[in-house]
Chain A
């Protein structure tokens, strides 16, 4: 398997624009996690899905953030409108049941 795939790898956008991050989990994995990492706050869990259903979105910063998982092989994290404080690296990860978690390479988002 190619591992967890994320796109784009880098995104630079202006404040107020909509940003969509994409993730393809490892085939067969039933859990998908979205994280955000910054120097100040470290690694934060934003939301996770089990069998395509959002289980816990308490880490989503505010209503500007939304995440979907329309099928087992694809998920999106959307920020609308984006703000400079959203600049961070966003990671997607997946796991099979409660076993090992595998991370994607991340999307580095810069909002100017």
Chain B
């Protein structure tokens, strides 16, 4: 069964810092990988989707990469802001989605 791991579980950084969130998965036979953001008490908001044939996707200050052969993805956030504080989850798609447990990010003003 697919297992998805996100490290670290929590991260605290000062405003303006660039940061990287990590996601690893055990089975490389995936259709795609999706990064989500979840604010406290809210639903999941899709940030980026990377198809299995792609290496990276960019949206604004966010850049996600995918190395399927090694079972890794990273989410790079440039020039972090307090509004980026949230939990970030990655999910890999086979027939269903398998989610990691998330990284809780706090950006300190």
Contacts and interface: CB of A to CB of B under 8 A. Distances in A.
Contacts, number: 42
B49 interface: yes
B102 A42 contact: yes
B95 A100 contact: no
Given A103-B36, A103-B43, 16 more contacts: A33-B96, A42-B99, A42-B102, A43-B89, A45-B96, A48-B96, A91-B44, A98-B31, A98-B93, A100-B34, A100-B49, A101-B34, A101-B46, A102-B46, A103-B46, A106-B43
Interface of A: 33, 42-43, 45, 48, 55-56, 91, 93, 98-106
Interface of B: 31-32, 34, 36, 42-46, 49, 89, 91, 93, 95-97, 99, 101-102
